[in-house]
Structure 1
Amino acid sequence: MSARPFLPYGRQTIEDDDVQAVADALRGDFLTTGPTVAAFEAAVAQKVGAAHAVAASNGTATLHLAMMALGVGEGNVCIVPSVTFLATANCARYVGAEVVFADVDPDSGLMTPDTLAEALKRAEGRRVKAVLPVHLRGDVVDLPGLKALADEAGAVLVDDAPHALGSTAVFGNQASTVGDCRWSAMASFSFHPVKTIATGEGGMLTTNDGALAGRLRALRSHGMSRPAGADPWIYEMAEPGFNYRLPDINCALGLSQLAKLDRFAERRRTLAARYKALLPPLAPVVRLASSPGHSKPVLHLLTVLIDFATAGVTRAEVVARLAEQGIGSQVHYIPVHNQPYYRQRYGALDLPGAQAWYDRCLTLPLFPGMADADVDRVVEALKAALD
Structure 2
Amino acid sequence: MVIPYGHQLIDDSDISSVVEALKSDWITQGKRIEQFEKSLSKFVGAKYTCVVANGTCALHAACIAAGIGPGDEVIVPALTFVASANCVLYCGAKPVLCDVYPDTITIDVEQAQKKITQKTRAIIAVDFAGHPADWDKLKKLAGKYHLILIDDASHALGSVYKGRRIGSIADLTTFSFHPVKAITTGEGGAVATNEKRYFETIKKIRHHGISRPKESKSKGGWYYDVDTLGYNFRMTDIQAALGASQLKKIDSFIQTRRKIWGIYQKQLRNVDGVSLPVEKKEAKSAWHLFPIRMNSKNRKRVFDKMRKDGIGVQVHYIPIHFFSLYRKDYKIGDFPIAESYYHQALSLPLYAGLQLNEQMYVIESLKKALR
Q: TM-score by structure 1 length?
A: 0.92
Q: Of the candidates 178, 184, 197, which is equivalent to residue 198 of structure 1? A: 184
Shift of 1:257: 0.4
Q: Of the candidates 193, 203, 208, which is equivalent to residue 207 of structure 1? A: 193
Shift of 1:374: 2.1
Q: Verify the 8 A CA contact 1:103 1:119 in the aligned structure 2.
A: no
User: For the residues of structure 2 that align with 1:203 and 1:180, how far apart are their CA atoms?
Assistant: 16
What corresponds to 1:268 in structure 2?
257
Q: Secondary structure at the match of 1:30?
A: coil
- 1:2-151 equivalences in 2 (<5 Å): 5-120=1-116, 125-151=117-143
Letter in 1 for 2:359: V
Q: Secondary structure at the match of 2:360?
A: helix
Residue 332 in 1 paired to residue 316 in 2? yes
Letter in 2 for 1:131: I
Shift of 1:350: 0.9
Q: Secondary structure at the match of 1:281?
A: coil
- 1:160-175 equivalences in 2 (<5 Å): 160-170=152-162, 175=163
Q: Of the candidates 344, 350, 353, which is equivalent to residue 334 of structure 2? A: 350
User: For the residues of structure 2 that align with 1:101 and 1:349, how far apart are their CA atoms?
Assistant: 13
- In structure 2, stretches of 5+ residues that fail to align are none
Letter in 2 for 1:385: A
- 1:216-231 equivalences in 2 (<5 Å): 216-228=202-214, 230-231=216-217
Q: List per-residue Cα deviations over 1:349-371 (Å, max 9, x = no partner).
A: 61111011111110000011112
- In structure 1, stretches of 5+ residues that fail to align are none
Residue 302 in 1 paired to residue 302 in 2? no
Shift of 1:347: 5.2
User: For the residues of structure 1 that align with 2:130 and 2:327, how far apart are their CA atoms?
Assistant: 28
Q: Secondary structure at the match of 2:125?
A: coil
User: For the residues of structure 1 that align with 2:279 and 2:96, how far apart are their CA atoms?
Assistant: 25
Q: List per-residue Cα deviations over 1:159-196 (Å, max 9, x = no partner).
A: 000000011021xxxx2100013xx2110000000000
Shift of 1:228: 2.8
Q: Verify the 8 A CA contact 2:99 2:336 in the aligned structure 1.
A: yes
Q: Of the candidates 348, 351, 354, which is equivalent to residue 370 of structure 1? A: 354
Identity of aligned residues (%): 38
Q: Of the candidates 245, 262, 283, which is equivalent to residue 256 of structure 1? A: 245
Q: Verify the 8 A CA contact 2:151 2:174 in the aligned structure 1.
A: yes
Q: Verify the 8 A CA contact 2:79 2:317 in the aligned structure 1.
A: yes
Letter in 2 for 1:380: E
Letter in 1 for 2:181: K
Q: Verify the 8 A CA contact 1:116 1:146 in the aligned structure 2.
A: no
User: For the residues of structure 2 that align with 1:345 and 1:308, how far apart are their CA atoms?
Assistant: 26
Q: List per-residue Cα deviations over 1:189-211 (Å, max 9, x = no partner).
A: 00000000000000000001112
Letter in 2 for 1:195: K
User: For the residues of structure 1 that align with 2:46 and 2:239, how far apart are their CA atoms?
Assistant: 21
Q: Of the candidates 232, 246, 250, which is equivalent to residue 243 of structure 1? A: 232
Aligned residues: 368
User: For the residues of structure 2 that align with 1:308 and 1:215, how far apart are their CA atoms?
Assistant: 45
User: For the residues of structure 1 that align with 2:354 and 2:101, how far apart are their CA atoms?
Assistant: 30
Q: Secondary structure at the match of 2:75?
A: strand
Residue 288 in 1 paired to residue 284 in 2? no
Q: Secondary structure at the match of 2:293?
A: strand
Q: List per-residue Cα deviations over 1:95-142 (Å, max 9, x = no partner).
A: 11011101001232111322322333xxxx341111000000000011
What corresponds to 1:318 in structure 2?
302
Q: TM-score by structure 2 length?
A: 0.96
Q: Verify the 8 A CA contact 2:333 2:339 in the aligned structure 1.
A: no
Q: Secondary structure at the match of 1:100?
A: strand
User: After TM superposition, where is structure 1 displaced by more than 6 Å over at least 4 residues in a row?
Assistant: none
After superposition, the CA RMSD in angstroms is 1.3
Shift of 1:295: 1.2
User: For the residues of structure 1 that align with 2:333 and 2:49, how far apart are their CA atoms?
Assistant: 36
